[in-house]
Amino acid sequence: MISNHEAGGRVPDDKIDLRGELCPINYVKTKLRLEDMKSGQVLEVLLDAGEPIQNVPRSLKNDGHQILGVKKVTGGAYRVLVRKG
């Protein structure tokens, strides 16, 4: 579970587990989920190591969203917290 501190003082508003998804599908699914959220809300995204963790946060930042944090979790995956821009 994410602490309130990690999410900028609040728990994520939504979560999506994209472990096992290939690029660019993981980015597309994240972008679609963010489209359903309000500006300022926080999304927790679980991504695999390698291309997903390298590409998805960078692409989201380029789209105007804020990356609040990236943390390696059990099993080699990464937890990314994104605030919708």
| pTM of the full structure | 0.87
pLDDT in tens, 2-61: 444 444 556 899 999 999 999 999 999 999 999 999 999 999 999 999 999 999 999 999
Look at residue 27 and tell me if it is in a domain: yes
Query: Pseudo-torsion of CA 71, 75, 45, 51, nearest 10°?
Result: 90
The residues carrying an active-site annotation are 23
Number of domains in the chain: 1
For the chain, the C-alpha Rg in angstroms (whole number) is 12
Look at residue 53 and tell me if it is in a domain: yes
pLDDT at 11: 87
* CATH number of residue 53's parent domain: 3.30.110.40
Look at residue 32 and tell me if it is in a domain: yes
Look at residue 5 and tell me if it is in a domain: no
Q: Average pLDDT of 64-85?
A: 95
Q: 69 is in which domain, residue-wise?
A: 14-83
Look at residue 25 and tell me if it is in a domain: yes
Concatenating the DSSP letter of every residue in 20-84 gives: TPPTTHHHHHHHHHHHTS-TT-EEEEEE-TTHHHHHHHHHHHHTT-EEEEEEE-GGG-EEEEEE-
Look at residue 1 and tell me if it is in a domain: no
| SS3 label, residue 3 | coil
pLDDT at 69: 95
